[in-house]
Amino acid sequence: MTSVQGTDVDIPTEDGTADAYLTHPADSEPRPAVLFYMDAFGLRPQLRTMADRLAEAGYTVLVPNVFYRHGRAPVFDLPEFIDTGARPEIFESIVPVMQALTPEASMRDADAYLRWLADCPVAAGGPVALTGYCMGARLSLLTAGTYPERVAAAAGFHGGRLATDSPDSPHLVAEHITAELYFGHADQDPSLPVEQIERLETALTEAGVRHHCEVYPGAGHGFTQADSASYHREGDERHWAALLDLLKRTF
Residues belonging to the active site: 134, 189, 221
Spell out the residues 6+ positions from residue 154 whose beta carbon is closer than 8 angstroms to its own: 129, 130, 131, 132, 140, 141, 143, 144, 177, 179, 180, 181, 182
- How many Cβ atoms from other residues are within 10 Å of residue 142's Cβ? 25
Taking a C-beta distance cutoff of 8 angstroms, is the pair 56, 2 a contact? yes
Say how many C-beta atoms besides its own lie within 10 A of residue 141's C-beta.
Answer: 31
Distance CA 155, CA 148 (A): 14
Whole-number Å distance between alpha carbons of 64 and 72: 10
